[in-house]
Chains A and B, each alone.
Chain A
């Protein structure tokens, strides 16, 4: 069993902070360095798209299911994409079973907003019959092991899932008033446009660092997650008790676009497109 505690000892806390002050990390990373991402797509046969993403020892499995239903009245020609997250009790002694708590809702919401505001999912292509029938996509994330920074791993998982997806293509049948299958599939190529990523930083005292691991997350005063596409910032979430100066936020905005660009290139998402 790994050492997983709710409370970090003063000695460990001081050790983490003194390391950070020297611009060093307890796991030998630099301040602006990610742990290693490992991605595998199409791992769940029952799902229409799926991804198994590890960020260091944090591991999330994401799957996509679809339903068809009525569109929202104000968006009659657009499909819907929702994100859910579950912090499984297998993943950490810190997680309890039961209905979603604040942490899992924040994870789902931040990933959802990153996708929603980035022009990522082409919701207009998810319309079968205007005002009557559209696709509803469910992107559900399950945390398998928790070692810090679920948001960035979740965002990569959700994105890979959407890219790897294969959803039966429906065509409206006037006679039956139902959708028939055309025999073809809508794939990630059809429905995914921008590739949004969430970039999360921890803050302890006045030190800011990328991708907090579990110990760092537990001792940090707060976090900030910045979702970015190629050229734009699409959502920001500050959480925890830390406060950030205006200059710091400006710096993080710039940094996030740079880190996002590099990560997007390194992970090469388009390789997961279903053929």
Chain B
């Protein structure tokens, strides 16, 4: 459907001073904010702001499998549903899930599954719902990161967290964490996730072209960024309990005061 303003990309993705269009250095992440326990009804939940991305994730489970024939007698199943809101992108997205959303759901699910002890939950399912309300590049990485956090918030036993980030090439330079414009106008895009219990790659896709040298550099670039993201995840989990602790301490003191 036509719009009055067209979606156009700039010719150059670097400014005069060598910084990227949003003022970042090549190895700099966008501002990231994570919070857990944001949806009171869910067993576990997390909210993420990553640049202009705004994503909610919620976990329900272990619960009965519906439809029943999907259940497995020897282990639990993990189901991930990644969806985008109609208003999360420049052109309004159709409300029904498309092929892209189904593919990303599967990729995120495959990425997270090795972290869980599903054999402990036969006949049940864990459902992870990811809702992207505002999208600006890198939503599959952001979704993976936040889905792991929501599972941790739900108290699901996990080997470790998983963190994801996209690295890529824009105007011939390798950069970390591509924004929406950089993703669309750039030359290469490589989303990558690391499960921290074995420090191995559990999500990997690539579109573009690179030689072996490029690949090595991409992977090194990603590793530093992923460490930073992992730290933000851990802080988000801790801060929930620090907040709780402070609240209970306050209550105790108030009670003492009353006595």
- Residue A2 is within 8 A (CB to CB) of chain B in the complex: yes
Residues of chain A with a CB closer than 8 A to B212's CB: none
Residue from B56, B127, B129, B133 in contact with A44 in the complex, judged by beta carbons closer than 8 Å: B133
Residue from B83, B86, B135 in contact with A140 in the complex, judged by beta carbons closer than 8 Å: B86
Closest B residue, CB atoms, query A99 = B96
User: Interface residues, chain A, CB within 8 Å of chain B?
Assistant: 1-2, 4, 43-48, 50, 57, 61, 63-69, 84, 86, 88-93, 96-97, 99, 136, 138, 140, 142, 144-147, 168-170, 178-181
- Residue B231 is within 8 A (CB to CB) of chain A in the complex: no
Cβ B129 vs Cβ A1 within 8 A: no
Number of interface residues of B (CB under 8 A): 37
Q: Bound complex: CA of A134 vs CA of B100, how far in Å?
A: 30
Residues of chain B with a CB closer than 8 A to A43's CB: 54, 134
17 A-B residue pairs with Cβ-Cβ distance under 8 Å, sorted by A, are A2-B41, A44-B85, A44-B133, A44-B134, A45-B136, A46-B88, A50-B87, A63-B86, A65-B86, A65-B87, A66-B92, A69-B1, A84-B86, A90-B58, A90-B131, A138-B92, A144-B39
- Residue B45 is within 8 A (CB to CB) of chain A in the complex: yes
Cβ A2 vs Cβ B134 within 8 A: no
Known: A50-B87, A147-B41, A179-B2. 12 other contacts (CB 8 A): A44-B88, A47-B88, A68-B4, A84-B95, A90-B129, A92-B41, A93-B60, A138-B86, A140-B85, A140-B87, A144-B39, A145-B39
Residues of chain B with a CB closer than 8 A to A140's CB: 85-87, 95
Residues of chain A with a CB closer than 8 A to B87's CB: 44, 46-48, 50, 63-65, 138, 140
Q: Bound complex: CA of A92 vs CA of B45, how far in Å?
A: 12
Q: Bound complex: CA of A65 vs CA of B131, how far in Å?
A: 18
Residues of chain A with a CB closer than 8 A to B40's CB: 2, 57, 145, 147
Cβ A90 vs Cβ B57 within 8 A: yes
Q: How far is the CB of B256 from chain A (nearest CB, A)?
A: 26
Cβ A67 vs Cβ B131 within 8 A: no
Residues of chain B with a CB closer than 8 A to A93's CB: 41, 60, 63
Q: How far is the CB of B131 from chain A (nearest CB, A)?
A: 6
Residues of chain B with a CB closer than 8 A to A96's CB: 66
Residues of chain B with a CB closer than 8 A to A99's CB: 96
A-B complex: 8 closest residue pairs judged by Cβ atoms: A63-B87, A90-B58, A65-B92, A47-B87, A67-B1, A170-B4, A168-B4, A90-B129
Q: Bound complex: CA of A144 vs CA of B81, how far in Å?
A: 15
Closest A residue, CB atoms, query B154 = A1
Residues 51-105 of B at the A interface (beta carbon under 8 Å) = 52, 54, 56-58, 60, 63, 66, 81, 83, 85-90, 92, 95-96
Residues of chain A with a CB closer than 8 A to B41's CB: 1-2, 4, 91-93, 145-147
Instruction: Please judge, given known A-B contacts A1-B41, A2-B40, A142-B133, whether A97 and B81 are in contact too, CB under 8 Å.
Output: yes
Residues of chain A with a CB closer than 8 A to B81's CB: 89, 97
- Residue B113 is within 8 A (CB to CB) of chain A in the complex: no
Residues of chain A with a CB closer than 8 A to B42's CB: 1, 90
Residues of chain B with a CB closer than 8 A to A57's CB: 40
Cβ B4 vs Cβ A88 within 8 A: no
Q: Bound complex: CA of A138 vs CA of B86, how far in Å?
A: 9
